[in-house]
Amino acid sequence: MERLIGIITSSEEAVRNTPLDAAIEGMSAVELLAACARLDGFRRETGNLYQRVRALFFLSSIHRYALPACGTIPSFGRIPFHAYEQLLERRFEESISILLDAVRTDGPSEAVSSALAAAYRGLAFQTLADQVRRSVRSIAGNQWMFRCGHAADYPLRLRPELMAQQGGRFPILRETTPVRMDLSHSAWSDIFFLGMDYPEGARVLNISIDLAISGRGEPRPPVEAHLRVIDRPVLRLVSVDLNAQVELSAVSEVFDFARDYLGLLKAAVIASGIVPPGMEGAATPLAAVLERLTGRAGHGIEIVSKVNDIPKGSRLAVSTNLLACLISACMRATSQVASLTGSMDEADRRLVAARAILGEWLGGSGGGWQDSGGVWPGMKLIRGVRAEAGDPEHGVSRGCLLPRHDLLGEDRAPEAAGRLLQDSLVLVHGGMAQDVGPILEMVTEKYLLRSAKEWEARGEAVGILDEVLDRLAKADVRGLGRLTQRNFDSPIQTIIPWAGNHYTQLLIDRAKAEFGERFWGFWMLGGMAGGGMGFLFDPQVKAAAQKRMQEILSETKRALEGGVPFAMEPVVYDFRINPRGSWSEMSGAGDGLMPPAYYVLTAPALLRRESRNLTPAQRADLEQFGARSRGGGEWGVAGSSLIDHLLPEAAAARSVSGTLDEMLEAHGFDRLQHEQIRADMKSGRIGLAQNRLPATARITNVDPGELPEVTGVHGRFVDLGRDALRRGSVAAVSLAGGAGSRWTRGAGVVKALNPFCKMGGRHRSFVEIHLAKSRRASRAYPLAIPHVFTTSYMTQGPFEGTLARENRYGYEGPLRLSPGRSVGLRFVPMARDLRFAWEETQQQVLDVQKQKVLESLRSGLIQWALASGEGTDYRDNLPQQCLHPTGHWFELPNMLRNGVLARLLAERPSLRTLMLHNIDTLGADVDAGLLGFHMDSGAAMTVEVIPRLLDDRGGGLARVDGRIRLVEGMALPDEELEFDLSFYNTGTMWIDIDRMLGVFGLTRAGLGGMAAVDAAVRKVAARMPSYVTIKDVKKRWGRGQEDIFPVAQFEKLWGDMTALPELDCRYVSVPRLRGQQLKDVAQLDGWVRDGSAGYVESLCEWR
């Protein structure tokens, strides 16, 4: 039998756990391809889910890493466009078939392998997600909800206690739920897929806690839900903390998750069965369902959620526990949970947890299986369960979907341990709110591949959990601290280096430095560090440490915020272990009230109505609130806030738009050009569809044979280059004016300064790495290479601050910033451009439920654009977020306009060549061979290109109407054309300064005349096309909440210079390790695994 299949199917654990890398070591490309063919056949035939998935991950990994590493298959290959389309549509099987046909017809290639890797990986995750979905649906107690599609079949009734009316008002059911923190999650073993395949290794020590922001009162359950009957036939949903409310009267509105901020409440309503998932798409009026539910025509229910001061990204599973809290209240109200008030029995808790999983799936989010741990009280060990006969998972996966919760009694978690933990732990929110999703995918993939060191680390993490349990039983919190620190330092960061970050490391270092032996250890909460975190201290210094940690957090955040995406100011919590779990109480019909903030939110609309138009319940509710607010306390404060809401507010002393206008003024905003672009955009002369070259343009591929390939040592070119380096005739220019919005999804921080990975023993940013390469490249020569970073209004300040703080990273040569000289003001996009971007261009389709949420969100954003005014200025955000850089075309001309090039030339007259590159092309360095090649060619500009792989989207090298040039992806008249192009632009270019100046009509000597320079730049700029693009911009609000808006902006791109006939351009094919761009954090793991990170580090020399 094929060895790889043998590993997958073996009953012996040692064989089954063989790392893929070890199994294929030494295999040739031919052998690997033969193994792939057998694996592909196996995965199609096997009925076992995990064998299938593991085979898929093996296939993906071989195509992504092992085959290219062989070096014997061609780099070039045509990826069939239809395969790509199928991939985007998530039709993975079809895509794989097309790609395998291409391999049979054209032979293997790195390009097609890259597409196969993506398709196999997509299919693997899809298969796993489908299985979780099937398991959730097949849990007894959940199935009926998928069958109920009509009000006539609707089987739920509210408990009679909730229908006991008094004075027009109904009783209020109030559920409060703690959140959970995990002392150890055994290396993310709470991911559903892991627990279902490896239940023995899936164990989490999970603690339910109450919280309060330090200094703001006693800790209390952080999430609460309120439910009552109302005398109107609607479903009324209110989120007090998100300031959102809605009344729903159609079933379809309940399933429209992203229309407002109430998606979580809607998911709870559906997952609890109040509007069961089987009703999606039903034409039944919601009033008919509510009539059946309440037993009374004209009545409905109101559900209110409240999160008590806990910001998003706390890593305490706030949203899952809020979902569970809401579901608990709804299920109690409909008798699905036996007890109306008090706690729940184990069976009901499990049912609520299962429904919370369903709710997360419906809402398009996803947590781990331990996340609803707040429903249970105190400390518990949550562990995977082997699937036995009778379980829906039996015969499909080794483990069950739902884990078992063992509450730890006095023998395993003595009271003293809990008390000591409370007295030692400083619990914080570091302020970062990152997406943990990519990390969970990386963990799953590494687990299924059994990558050697990661698998060993998993074993260590499992062992640490046993030690943690042992320390807990002995109430040894100091020992616990050592273990959680070891857990973070060793297994967690061995498996996923990105779980840690520079910010967290600085915090740990400072805690150690300031508290020495009295700092007992760091404790990572949830999936990654930076948000919710714990620091354990000697109880004797805890009070001082709590105070000091707040200061350390704030100081460190201020130092790093230019390059690290923070969503909020860091906070320190007070916390207490919750002994009750989710708990419910019911008020009497006459005297119950919603939380005070509810009335501040809802009363203004009611007060604006005539009293006679209020329902009896609304009137009685307001009367009750009025009486209570006159009594002072928190109700009195709510009363005052309500008055503030009702009365007109004096204009803010300094409006945001005032600041924005000042910034525009300061950064050289060209209002005339802006108005012209607006007019062109509104009239349809420019837009996403108009970015494209005319359909009549003849665009063909440049064959690989037409370009020189520069690899290894290049003889005379190297000598030529070294000679030029010795003379000091080259400078490096890193383009860093842009925000790198894909890196932080529009957070507005400077990607270049983001300390994203560990090299040479510590976290390094893009800037530091580029300087380290220039340092190494300069090493052998008397003159260090001058290095220029081009900046913009957005990046100049943070660059200056960081370089000053880091003492220019000790760079020995000339180091200059080239500040931007142009800025644009973003527009509210045209609806037609949004539709073009989302509906007419190829888009990655998401998993079914996520796609529904996304489509609902997009429809809302198009409405937002229409309501805000298409083509109007985008001003509803922080000023920084309303401005935009105008594209990297301007960055080199800016060096002419701001005098940086003139000064460089004055300091080093021997300077002849600039190596220009993007900040994210980490493999680019001042390579003597390439420099020599460029100089030898005599070209004005030499562009480095790489053979295209699947992810290399956005244009490439083409012959356009006979001229070889770079073409932007958005300029291609037909997306399919891109798949015919063999080469992708790396963004790295060698530029002959004098020849380039010649294109602008300038000379070295003429750089001092600013008017002439400005005129020259304007003249060339006018010949460059302006592209309209849609960018995502984050708008932050509330406590760590973020919305993402698509905004329109324009840009000019440097690659279009290659279209100028007077610019003599050459092109050279370079290895992928040199040309690979790092645009997305999700690429990081692959970047390490494929050797790119090691290659980059080999180019660096640290100070």
Partner 1 sequence: MIIDKAVITAAGPAQRTLPLQHLIDRDGQERTVLAILIEEAAKAGMKEVAVVVYPGDEAACAAAAEGTPVKLHFIPQTGGAGYARAVWSAREFTGKEPFLHLVGDHLYVGDEAGACASRLVETATREKCAVSAVQATHEGLLPNYGAVGGQPLAAHTDLYAIERVVEKPTPTLAERSLVVAGLRTGHYLCFFGMHALTPAVMAILDEMLGENSGAAPSFSSALETLAARERYLALQMDARRYDLGASYGLFTAQAALALNGRDRDEVLTRLVQLLSANPARKAGL
Contacts to partner 1 by CB under 8 A: 140-145, 147-148, 152-157, 273, 331, 334-336, 347, 351
Exposed/middle/buried for 147, CB within 10 Å: 0-12, 13-18, 19+? exposed
Q: Given the complex with partner 1, which of 14 and 140 has the nearer CB atom?
A: 140
Shortest Cβ 358–partner 1 spacing (Å) = 12
Separation CA 733–CA 103 (nearest Å): 40
Separation CA 165–CA 147 (nearest Å): 33
Task: Determine the residue type at 644.
Answer: D
Angle 864-866-867 (CA atoms, 0-180°, nearest 5)?
Answer: 65
Shortest Cβ 284–partner 1 spacing (Å) = 12
Q: Given the complex with partner 1, which of 347 and 643 has the nearer CB atom?
A: 347
Shortest Cβ 221–partner 1 spacing (Å) = 25
Separation CA 996–CA 895 (nearest Å): 12
The backbone region for 191, taken as left when phi is positive above 0, alpha when psi lies in -120 to 50, beta otherwise, is: beta
Shortest Cβ 347–partner 1 spacing (Å) = 8
Q: Given the complex with partner 1, which of 295 and 1008 has the nearer CB atom?
A: 295
973-998 per-residue burial string, b: 16 or more CB within 10 A, e: under 16:
eebebbbbbbbbbbbbbbbbbebbbe
Separation CA 245–CA 997 (nearest Å): 60
Q: Given the complex with partner 1, which of 161 and 476 has the nearer CB atom?
A: 161
Q: Given the complex with partner 1, which of 347 and 1010 has the nearer CB atom?
A: 347
What is the per-residue DSSP string for 854-882?
HHHHHHHHHHHHHHH-TTSB--SS-HHHH
Q: Which two tokens stand for residue 413?
A: 């978690």
Separation CA 379–CA 416 (nearest Å): 13
What is the per-residue DSSP string for 760-794?
TTEEE-HHHHHHHHHHHHHTTSSSPPPEEEE--TT
Q: Given the complex with partner 1, which of 158 and 449 has the nearer CB atom?
A: 158
Shortest Cβ 361–partner 1 spacing (Å) = 18
Strands 815-818 and 787-790 come out as parallel
Enumerate the β-bridge partners of residue 873. Answer: 827
Q: Given the complex with partner 1, which of 263 and 277 has the nearer CB atom?
A: 277
Q: Given the complex with partner 1, which of 292 and 486 has the nearer CB atom?
A: 292
Tokens 């002439």 correspond to: 1012
Angle 1091-1097-1098 (CA atoms, 0-180°, nearest 5)?
Answer: 90
Cα–chain-centroid distance for residue 34?
37
Tokens 């520069």 correspond to: 710
Separation CA 73–CA 294 (nearest Å): 68
Shortest Cβ 330–partner 1 spacing (Å) = 11
Shortest Cβ 163–partner 1 spacing (Å) = 13
Shortest Cβ 262–partner 1 spacing (Å) = 24
Q: Which two tokens stand for residue 197?
A: 């395949």
Q: What is the 3-state secondary structure (H, E, C) of 214-240?
A: CCCCCCECCEEEEEEEECCCCEEEEEC
Q: Given the complex with partner 1, which of 37 and 288 has the nearer CB atom?
A: 288
Tokens 């979905």 correspond to: 133
952-961 per-residue burial string, b: 16 or more CB within 10 A, e: under 16:
bebbbbbbbe
Q: Given the complex with partner 1, which of 339 and 611 has the nearer CB atom?
A: 339
Separation CA 481–CA 1097 (nearest Å): 33
Shortest Cβ 332–partner 1 spacing (Å) = 11
Q: Given the complex with partner 1, which of 273 and 364 has the nearer CB atom?
A: 273
Q: Given the complex with partner 1, which of 96 and 156 has the nearer CB atom?
A: 156
Shortest Cβ 280–partner 1 spacing (Å) = 17
Separation CA 971–CA 963 (nearest Å): 16
Shortest Cβ 267–partner 1 spacing (Å) = 17
Shortest Cβ 192–partner 1 spacing (Å) = 21
Tokens 């032996």 correspond to: 517
Shortest Cβ 139–partner 1 spacing (Å) = 9
At how many degrees (to 10) do helices 110-138 and 92-106 cross?
A: 160
Backbone phi, psi, residue 819, to 5°: -70, 145
Shortest Cβ 147–partner 1 spacing (Å) = 5
Shortest Cβ 249–partner 1 spacing (Å) = 20
Separation CA 1073–CA 855 (nearest Å): 37
Q: Given the complex with partner 1, which of 354 and 664 has the nearer CB atom?
A: 354
Task: Determine the residue type at 783.
Answer: L
The CA-atom distances, in angstroms, between 1043 and each of 249, 874, 932, 1036, 1037 are 26, 15, 49, 6, 8
Separation CA 735–CA 989 (nearest Å): 11
Do residues 872 and 116 lie in contact, with contact meaning Cβ atoms separated by under 8 Å?
Answer: no
25 Cβ contact list (under 8 Å, min separation 6): none
- Gyration radius of the chain's alpha carbons: 31
Shortest Cβ 229–partner 1 spacing (Å) = 16
Shortest Cβ 132–partner 1 spacing (Å) = 20
Separation CA 188–CA 204 (nearest Å): 9
Shortest Cβ 338–partner 1 spacing (Å) = 8
Q: Given the complex with partner 1, which of 154 and 1045 has the nearer CB atom?
A: 154
What is the per-residue DSSP string for 41-53?
HHHHH---HHHHH
Q: Given the complex with partner 1, which of 335 and 640 has the nearer CB atom?
A: 335
Cα–chain-centroid distance for residue 107?
37
Q: Given the complex with partner 1, which of 148 and 457 has the nearer CB atom?
A: 148
